[in-house]
C-alpha cells in the first residue's frame, strides 16, 4: 500500500514566494495548502493534519514566532520550519526555543528546502515508528 504523501502548510504573506514554494513542493508531489496569515494558518491546521508547516517569520497579523508557539502547543507532532528574510541569531534561537524544528533563510534555495523537508519528515516518521514499537511492547 502506498503511504500518503506528506501534507505541508505554507504560511507566507508574499504571494510570489507563496506560489514559488507551492510549485517546488508540488513538483515533489507533496500535498500543499497555503495560508496568507497567522489566523488562516491556525484555522487550517485545526481543520486538517499537516505533517509539516513552513512559517514566515513576518506575517501581517502576528509574528511568525507567536504563531509557532501556538502551533507547537496545539500540534507538537507537526514539523515546523521557520522561513526568515531577517536572519539574526536572536530570531533563530527564539524560533528553536519555541519549538521550531529548523529554519531557513530567504531567498529560499529549492534544493536546500527540499533536503531539509525530507530530513525532518524522515525524523518525524522514525519518531512515530518508535512510539508504535513501544506501544506494541506494552500490549
Identify the pLDDT of residue 62: 94
Q: Averaged over 106-132, what is the pLDDT?
A: 93
pTM exceeding the 0.85 threshold for the entire prediction: yes
User: Is 70 exceeded by the pLDDT of residue 1?
Assistant: no
Cα 13–111–7 angle (5° rounding)?
A: 55
Q: Averaged over 91-108, what is the pLDDT?
A: 85
Q: Read off the DSSP letter of residue 63.
A: B
Helix axes 64-74, 38-47, angle to 10 degrees: 20
Residues 58-77 have pLDDT tens digits of 899 998 989 999 999 999 99
Integer angstrom CA distances of residue 40 from 16, 34, 65, 87:
18, 9, 15, 25
Check if the beta carbon of residue 38 is closer than 8 Å to that of residue 65.
Answer: no
DSSP string, 28-56: TT-EEEEESSHHHHHHHHHHS--SEEEEE
Amino acid at each position: 500500500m502506498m503511504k500518503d504523501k506528506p501534507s505541508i502548510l505554507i504560511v507566507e504573506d508574499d504571494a510570489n514566494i507563496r506560489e514559488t514554494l507551492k510549485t517546488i513542493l508540488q513538483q515533489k508531489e507533496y500535498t500543499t495548502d497555503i495560508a496568507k496569515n497567522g489566523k488562516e494558518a491556525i484555522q487550517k491546521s485545526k481543520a486538517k493534519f499537516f505533517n509539516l508547516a513552513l512559517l514566515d517569520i513576518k506575517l501581517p497579523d502576528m509574528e511568525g514566532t507567536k504563531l509557532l508557539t501556538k502551533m507547537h502547543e496545539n500540534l507538537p507532532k507537526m514539523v515546523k520550519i521557520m522561513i526568515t528574510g531577517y536572519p539574526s541569531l536572536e530570531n533563530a534561537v527564539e524560533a528553536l526555543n519555541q519549538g521550531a524544528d529548523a529554519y531557513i533563510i530567504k531567498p529560499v534555495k529549492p534544493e536546500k528546502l527540499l533536503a531539509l523537508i525530507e530530513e525532518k519528515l524522515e525524523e518525524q516518521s522514525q519518531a512515530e515508528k518508535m512510539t508504535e514499537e513501544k506501544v506494541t511492547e506494552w500490549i
